[in-house]
Structure 1
Amino acid sequence: MNGELESNFFLLVRSDKAKAFQLVFDAYWESLYKQAYKKIHSSDLAQDLVQDVFICLWDKIDLLDAEKSVLAYLYAILRNKILKIYEKDEVRLRYAINVTAKEVACDNYSQNTLLEKELKKIIDQEIELMPPRMKAIYILKKEDELSIKEIADNLSLSEQTIKNQLQSAYNRLRNRVKDYDSSLALLTILITKYL
């Protein structure tokens, strides 16, 4: 929005607050959305953030300083909202790490237990989809707890082949969990319990 439109905005605020708001909304919504999406990579969340920015504008529209840029004000609100999301995500991740690291006893209805069950189900489904040799090697390693050498001897394969097959299996499982729902950071942390 150029200087003339900024001036018009502040003049309109005095006479028709809704029209002034619509002028700014039409001019800035798309650029704010693009900025939010670039930072958080979620269309729905970016739209929610921009909506929150405009709610803040509406709540403070009468208090804005005509000497300052409306666009700069909107970007500042958006930046603060994005930073709050990053802070919340960091707190959640630290909490998830602490919960899994301490191996806290949980009752059957706790969120952690439910997430672990969901994770186990996802892993079991992916194991069933593995090629037969990879699946057999993975099961011998994880369920029968055989060493790489023991598996190689049992299957008459080289130890390097066993290592390669296990690495491929681990990669498949990690990708499956990540593809399932990347927003569940706890699942990604818990996967190490099963790999």
Structure 2
Amino acid sequence: MCQELDSDFFILLKLNKEKAFQLVFDIYWHPLYKQAFKKVQRADLAKDLVQDVFVCLWDKIDMLDSEQSVLAYCYAILRNKILQLYEKNKVQLRYAISVAGNEIVADQHSQNVLLEKELTAIINEEIERMPPRMREIYILKKEDELSIKEIAEDLSISEQTIKNQLQMAYQRLRNRLKNYDSSLAILSIILSKLL
């Protein structure tokens, strides 16, 4: 289904940019909103993030490569928008910590929040580095929560290929996290021992 939509999109894009964009908007708005809401837990913020995704898509629509998955491209934009939001919140969080001063419990919680965001950023960065097909399959499985059978049907490839791609994606993530070294992680361990 995704390949057919991508094919239709790129054909329509040559004929009518607005209709091509409307096709993608109509089909992908809800899955993108669902993903954004899952990450930020606020409907208004999730809608704003999805709006930003489509603004970016419109701005770069002429630069899209017909070999790209439009859905994976939109998810990548959304992921970057969420990371930018986390970065902005991290600055606000640092300010709040500095104002709070001596509240060690709040500092430990804040460090845990930052650690979680740092790990999320590392995972998202590794997902972005995956080959396009692997990334698309991983996103459909983990973020859209589709079954292996549904993904195989949507992409018109075998279930075994889906399993192989997911296995390689998981291995990449495990290797990336195994090599993870963070001063925040060390600080979090030290704070937990102090308390």
Q: TM-score, normalised by structure 2?
A: 0.51
Which residue in 2 is equivalent to 1:171?
Answer: none
Q: CA deviation at 1:15?
A: 1.2
Distance in 2 (alpha carbons) for counterparts of 1:94 and 1:4: 46
Which residue in 1 is equivalent to 2:6?
Answer: 6
For these two proteins, the number of residue pairs brought into alignment is 102
Which residue in 1 is equivalent to 2:120?
Answer: none
Which residue in 1 is equivalent to 2:52?
Answer: 52
| 1:64 has 2:60 as partner | no
| 1:33 has 2:14 as partner | no
Which residue in 1 is equivalent to 2:18?
Answer: 18
Greater Cα radius of gyration, structure 1 or 2 = 1
Which aligned runs of 4 or more in structure 1 are off by greater than 4 angstroms?
Answer: none
Q: State whether residues 2 and 69 of structure 2, in contact with CA within 8 Å, keep that contact through their aligned partners in structure 1.
A: no
Which residue in 1 is equivalent to 2:86?
Answer: 86
Equivalent residues in 2 for 1:19-168 (5 A)? 19-101=19-101
Relative contact order, higher structure (CA 8 A, sep 6+): 2
Identity %: 68
Q: State whether residues 33 and 46 of structure 2, in contact with CA within 8 Å, keep that contact through their aligned partners in structure 1.
A: yes
Alpha-carbon RMSD: 1.3
Gaps of 5+ in 1: 103-195
Q: CA deviation at 1:50?
A: 0.2
Gaps of 5+ in 2: 103-195
SS at 2:68 equivalent: coil
Distance in 2 (alpha carbons) for counterparts of 1:60 and 1:41: 28
Q: CA deviation at 1:100?
A: 3.3
Residue identity matched to 1:64: L
Q: State whether residues 13 and 20 of structure 2, in contact with CA within 8 Å, keep that contact through their aligned partners in structure 1.
A: yes
Distance in 1 (alpha carbons) for counterparts of 2:2 and 2:69: 10
Deviations 1:13-52 (A, max 9, x none): 1110000000000110000000000000000000000000
